Amino acid sequence: MLSLYSLATRNSQLATIKRSLNSKIEWTDATWNPIRGCTKISPGCAHCYAETFAERFRGVPGHPYEQGFDLRLIPEKLSEPLRWAAPRMVFVNSMSDLFHEDVDDDYIEQVCRVMVQVPRHTFQVLTKRSERMRDLLRSRLGFAAREPHIWFGVSVENRKHGLPRIEHLRGAPAGLRMLSVEPLLENLGPLDLSGIGWVIAGGESGPGARPMAADWVRSIRDQCRRASVPFFFKQWGGSAQEPVGPRARRPDA
């Protein structure tokens, strides 16, 4: 497990190259999608930004999303991080879920073996299929589980679906465990942040965005402060509201 000091040293270097990289997501530098497409499994998926983007190009000949948001493997993308010379923070499968039930174990292992090969990058893996991730990290993916440059995390949108995912994550070995609390759909109440290394929070954006109350975010921020867990506030989402406090704190802050 990396210390916060080690994270700060590593990721302050990444900040100097941020402008030249290809992601508009505030908490990462680049995206890598060896899988495209997904299916909905919980309320956080209702207004999926990735689906909205991909479906715009369904039927466009030659476009990467000619098949819309249908799930498919993209093996020609597997080697992409090996060709990136400069270190970067990489969001893995921003347009899918590595642990989707229709992605076989062999392919998931191939993705993880690529990540292990390039410790100059920091890989961020998020899933809503937390039980499968936990089980694979305890077994077949053990070779990647405690690599300090591979961060595993779960999406947390509400108490019913999100809180069990946190418990699954805590039960998985990982170099760093992270929570993506977005879109935040309700007050999560007290959180057990033991074993968690980073928390991102934010509201929903785009058409039909569901509102987020300021107090819900403040509660998470304050709990992170008490637990000494870095907290990153991404966005209010659909409507501007009063500030929650310092906007961005990554583990490099």
The beta-carbon contacts of 238-245 under 8 Å, at least 24 apart in sequence, are: 238/203, 238/204, 238/205, 238/206, 238/209, 238/210, 238/211, 239/209, 239/211, 241/212, 241/214, 242/214, 244/214, 244/217, 244/218, 245/218, 245/221
Query: Domains, the chain, ranges and CATH?
Result: 4-40+72-233 (3.80.30)
Rounded to two decimals, what is the model's pTM? 0.85
pLDDT digits (tens, 9 = 90+) for 169-193: 999 999 999 999 999 999 999 999 9
Per-residue confidence (pLDDT) for residue 37, from 0 to 100: 96
Per-residue confidence (pLDDT) for residue 247, from 0 to 100: 42
pLDDT digits (tens, 9 = 90+) for 3-55: 443 444 444 433 433 333 455 677 789 999 999 999 999 998 988 889 899 99
pLDDT digits (tens, 9 = 90+) for 196-253: 999 999 999 888 889 999 999 999 999 999 999 999 999 898 744 444 544 444 444 3
